[in-house]
Amino acid sequence: MFIYTESNGIVLINDIFKPPTVTLDTNVVKTWWKNRSKVEHVETLIELGEKFEIDLAVTGRIHDDVPNQPLAAQINDLPNLLIDEIGAIIRIDNWKPGTDIGGITEFVNFIGSIETSDKFDHMSKKRQPDWRDWDHIHTHYRYGRNYFLTWDGGILHFQKEFEEFGIKVMKPEDYLSQHQQPNLEEWVKKIMCNSLQTDTSGDV
């Protein structure tokens, strides 16, 4: 999206406004693909992404969640919805050169404290988050993104712990309920201000 100014030509709105960065868990993407219940929330997120109000992404670990066809092929279509694929945390037996990144010790220790907690131990094995779940959030944290959206009950079970650690994990509908539309008028003011500064920068 852009705005045209006579003095400065085309100015990208993203040069002025940095939209919230939103990472989607695989179950959110699957809801879109399979037209499941709550798909309307995913549709709204995609619409916001198309308006450049939010920056959507999935992590590279989605390929481990969806290894089989025909859904695996649809991962390559996500950029058409303006959903980027960022890397994943490097694992010795599972990593992609050029895109995957190293982890952070403090996050590894944080997850270790969760997995050794009574709260985790009292969960059923099926409900406990596994390495792929942790990698999604670890990558999200490593990239410094703002919101991680999921319907995974095992992850949401530790929403409070993630919040205390500095990671905002929530359901898509909860994010949408608090999303604020950007102020276009403020964008234009900033763009015009930048334009005027450029015009006068050569004055003596």
Inside any domain, residue 198 = no
Inside any domain, residue 167 = yes
Inside any domain, residue 202 = no
pLDDT band per the 50, 70, 90 thresholds, residue 187: low
Number of domains in the chain: 1
Residue numbers of the domain that contains 41: 18-181
pLDDT of residue 3: 42
Inside any domain, residue 32 = yes
Q: What are the tens digits of pLDDT across the range 101-159?
A: 899 999 999 999 999 999 999 999 889 999 999 999 999 999 999 999 999 999 999 99
Q: At what angle do helices 105-115 and 131-142 cross, to 10 degrees?
A: 150
Determine the straight-line distance between the first and last CA of the chain, rounded to whole angstroms: 34
Inside any domain, residue 50 = yes
Q: What are the tens digits of pLDDT across the range 31-56?
A: 999 998 999 999 999 999 999 999 99
> Which CATH number is 116's domain given?
3.40.50.1010
Inside any domain, residue 196 = no
Can you tell me the distance from the alpha carbon of 165 to that of 22, in angstroms, rounded to the nearest whole number? 18
